[in-house]
Structure 1
């Protein structure tokens, strides 16, 4: 009887091992990528040090210590006054030594504002792929461009691991203004509170909304409506929102132009229509009457933005009116109540 049971266990284990081996072979790219990402994230987590060590270090600049205190204030405010989840994040600091640590690759169809998506366990389909190795990000960009995709690479100021790791403060965050830093922390804490599978547009737009509204509330409560920190943040925000609206209008214009293209149109004609439209979008930026810059188009004088660039604005900004209307009309501007409602409606993953 024991021998029979032993054989059953043996063959069961061998079967499981075989199945595991087959799955690893079939999904090798996913397994390899996951291992690389896990190693990169763990490297940052392992090398991050408790914030208290920096606060106690007499060589650490007082201006940066003030930023660390601000992050803790924002973190507590987000938990107590906004109702965001306490994940114990942002209690350690990783020294980037002035270097970027993550590169995110985004790709889009060349004549349609439709992103390329990658599918991962738990989070589902996402329209980007992140790397802790710049060379790998550049290699993927080159590969996708050869396939005909519009591609961009961006360096995120921060990211959320959705509670899988303890997210540290990145040292370059400390160079941000009070409002910008508060917004980043609240944005990422929003992801760890509400995150819907296969819905990156929803997740990023919602985190943007909570980050914007939560930061306004934090700065008013901490500094007052006449405080320099609040006024600076709002002045910068006015410019940014004008720019965002312009890019969203540009995305809508591109949609219309791409909708007129026919299968029989030649590739040179399609490229010409696309380039002319994007040039017009860039040129008309200078009519926005921005307070902080008179010629925003100059940032694109060497290279025009592509579809992936416009798509990125949609992923973060296209649903702000939807959330804003619901927040005002149904919750009368009570952000904590709105977050509570959304948390109940959309269980975390």
Structure 2
């Protein structure tokens, strides 16, 4: 009897493996990549005590520890074991993200994962697999985009390490990054990627300003450079979001009988206009700040497609919503606002 039950169980597992082979294979690849990173990390205390590491690196690690303490004590984010270890990337990227969209609609391709829900992007620790997915999506006629990822969160399931690439960032950019990722570990709503990313961006920027003001003062170079960066990207955000509205209006005006050659001509003409007009945006950031902030600006040499605009909506569309709710309903009391969010939106 037990032997028969065992054979049935094995048979069911075999069927599931064949049926969900792509998901199982992807999950194994992701788990292997994550474990490889965690296996090769060093405790922060060990790095700080090692004379082989330069003082500049140690100072940035100490700054990350300060940012984390501020996030827990002053912002009320959840306690976390993340950023207590260090992983040296040796100058190499370690994660890539693929996004895709319909060619004449601002509609993203969705991927579904157990537990964490639906995402409009898919990450890979193996570049060749990311390239293979992009090739397949292009064969389907979709717009695609592949980009390196500078940080990610395992949502509190694992203790995320400090990546060596973090240390190239300015004080403000680093504070925003750490607070952004810790926000994911505090509140992450299933099947609500746009909400999650917009919230983490809002908290990251708000928290970074508070941290910089507390540590350096509002007249300091770190604070002023970050403020100028934030002001620039608010203008940039509005420009790109206006561009998405233009594209959306254009696409909705297409008729089923409109030839693709006409659709393509109008699409790329509109995108080029969005790119060309971005040159009018003023920028008061210092040279140091410009070098240390991740570039999101459009370029004329490689025009973005719908996948770029979809990715932008995922992270930036709801910024005003959070800001207005925070200021008008909660009077700028962040801990009170965070408590409200936790009670209103069930997290993983």
Structure 1 position 299, deviation (Å): 5.2
Q: Aligned partners of 1:273, 1:73: CA distance in 2, in Å?
A: 50
Residue 304 (str. 1) matches residue 280 (str. 2): no
Residue 71 (str. 1) matches residue 64 (str. 2): yes
How big is each residue's C-alpha offset from its partner over 1:100-146, in whole Å with a ceiling of 9 and x where there is no partner? 00000000111100100010001111011101111111111111111
Q: Aligned partners of 2:309, 2:95: CA distance in 1, in Å?
A: 21
Aligned residues: 340
Structure 1 position 290, deviation (Å): 2.5
Counterpart of 2:54 in structure 1 is: 61
Counterpart of 1:48 in structure 2 is: 41
Counterpart of 1:331 in structure 2 is: 330
SS in 2 for 1:100: coil
Structure 1 position 297, deviation (Å): 11
Q: Aligned partners of 1:345, 1:133: CA distance in 2, in Å?
A: 37
SS in 2 for 1:153: strand
Residue 249 (str. 1) matches residue 249 (str. 2): no
Counterpart of 1:316 in structure 2 is: 315
Where does 1:49-128 land on structure 2 (aligned, <5 Å)? 49-128=42-121
Counterpart of 2:211 in structure 1 is: 218
Question: Which sections of structure 2, spanning at least 5 residues, go unmatched?
Answer: 287-294
Q: Aligned partners of 1:53, 1:297: CA distance in 2, in Å?
A: 35
Structure 1 position 13, deviation (Å): 2.9
Q: Give the alignment's Cα RMSD to 1 decimal.
A: 1.5
Counterpart of 1:182 in structure 2 is: 175
Q: Check conservation: 1:103, 1:130, Cα contact below 8 A.
A: yes
Q: Give TM-score, length-normalised by structure 1.
A: 0.94
SS in 2 for 1:347: coil
Q: Aligned partners of 1:233, 1:61: CA distance in 2, in Å?
A: 25
Q: Check conservation: 2:30, 2:125, Cα contact below 8 A.
A: yes
Residue 197 (str. 1) matches residue 190 (str. 2): yes
Counterpart of 1:4 in structure 2 is: none
Instruction: Give 1 or 2 for the bigger CA radius of gyration.
Output: 1
Counterpart of 1:290 in structure 2 is: 283
Structure 1 position 60, deviation (Å): 1.1
